[in-house]
Amino acid sequence: MITSIEIKAVEPLADGAPFGAAGAYERVIGVAKGEVDPKAPQNQGIALIDKAPLNADGKVEYATDFFILRPKDPAKGNGRILYEVNNRGRKMLIGNLCDGPQGMNAPKTAADVGNGFPLRQGWTIVWSGWDPDAPRANMGLGLTAPVATDNGQPIVQTVRDEFVSGTRGGALEAFKLSYEMATQEGAKLTIRERQTDAPQEIAWTAIDAKSIKLADGKPKPGFLYEFTYQGTKPKVQGLGFAATRDFVSFLRNAPAGRAATGGPITHALAIGFSQAGRYLRHHISEGFNRDEQGGKVFDGIYSHIAGVGRLFFNVPFSQPARTSTQHEDHTAPEAWFPFSTATLEDPFTKQKGSVFRGDGCDPKLIETNTSTEYWQKGASLLTTDPLGRTDVELPQNSRAYMIAGTQHGGRAGATTDAGPNVNPRNPHNPMPAVRALLVALDDWVVKGIAPPLNRLPTLKDGTLVEPDKTGFPAIPGAAVVKVTNLVKPPSGAGAYRTLVSKVDADGNEVAGIRLPDIAVPLAAYTGWNEYKPPYPRGELADRDGSYFAFPPEKIAARYGNRAGYVAKVRDTVEQLKKDRFLLQEDADRYIERAQKDERVAP
pLDDT (tens digit, 9 = 90+) per residue, 433-490? 999 999 999 999 999 999 999 999 999 999 999 999 999 999 999 999 999 999 999 8
In this prediction, residues 291-320 reach a mean pLDDT of 97
Q: Are 515 and 403 spatial neighbours (Cβ–Cβ below 8 Å)?
A: yes
**484 phi and psi angles, rounded to 5 deg:** -105, 165
Amino acid 536 reads: P
Q: What is the pLDDT of residue 493?
A: 87
3 state SS of 49: helix
Amino acid 467 reads: P
Task: Please measure the distance between the N-terminal and C-terminal CA atoms of the chain and give it in whole angstroms.
Answer: 63
Measured distance CA(93)–CA(104) in Å, rounded = 9
Q: Are 496 and 505 spatial neighbours (Cβ–Cβ below 8 Å)?
A: no
Options 3.40.50.1820, 3.40.50.300, 3.20.20.60, 3.40.1190.20; CATH for 2-145+237-447 is 3.40.50.1820
In this prediction, residues 214-229 reach a mean pLDDT of 97
In this prediction, residues 164-175 reach a mean pLDDT of 94
Within 10 Å of residue 578's Cβ, how many Cβ atoms?
9
Q: What is the pLDDT of residue 169?
A: 82
In this prediction, residues 292-298 reach a mean pLDDT of 97
In this prediction, residues 144-173 reach a mean pLDDT of 96
Q: Write out pLDDT tens, residues 507-529.
A: 999 999 999 999 999 999 999 99
- The average confidence (pLDDT) of the chain is 97
| Extents of the domains making up the chain | 2-145+237-447, 156-232, 473-484+505-596
Q: What is the pLDDT of residue 416?
A: 98
In this prediction, residues 71-88 reach a mean pLDDT of 98
Measured distance CA(445)–CA(301) in Å, rounded = 10
Instruction: Label residue 170 by pLDDT band (50, 70, 90).
Output: confident
Measured distance CA(28)–CA(148) in Å, rounded = 32
Q: Is the pLDDT of residue 314 over 90?
A: yes
Measured distance CA(367)–CA(377) in Å, rounded = 13
Instruction: Label residue 580 by pLDDT band (50, 70, 90).
Output: very high
Q: Write out pLDDT tens, residues 93-141.
A: 999 999 999 999 999 999 999 999 999 999 999 999 999 999 998 899 9
Give me the percent of the chain exceeding a pLDDT of 70.
100
In our burial notation (b when 16+ CB lie closer than 10 A, e otherwise), range 136-172 reads: eeebbbbbbbbbbbeeeeebbeebbbbbbbbbeeeeb
Q: Which residues does 222 contact at the CB level (< 8 Å), separation at least 6?
A: 164, 165, 166, 167, 193, 327, 420, 531, 534, 535, 536, 539
Q: Are 199 and 191 spatial neighbours (Cβ–Cβ below 8 Å)?
A: yes
Q: Are 394 and 343 spatial neighbours (Cβ–Cβ below 8 Å)?
A: no
CA distances from 143 to 82, 238, 599 (A): 20, 10, 49
CA distances from 69 to 52, 113, 261 (A): 33, 11, 8
Q: What is the pLDDT of residue 492?
A: 85
CA dihedral 55, 56, 59, 63 (to 10 degrees): -40
Q: What is the pLDDT of residue 491?
A: 87
Q: Is the pLDDT of residue 73 over 90?
A: yes
Q: Is the pLDDT of residue 582 over 90?
A: yes
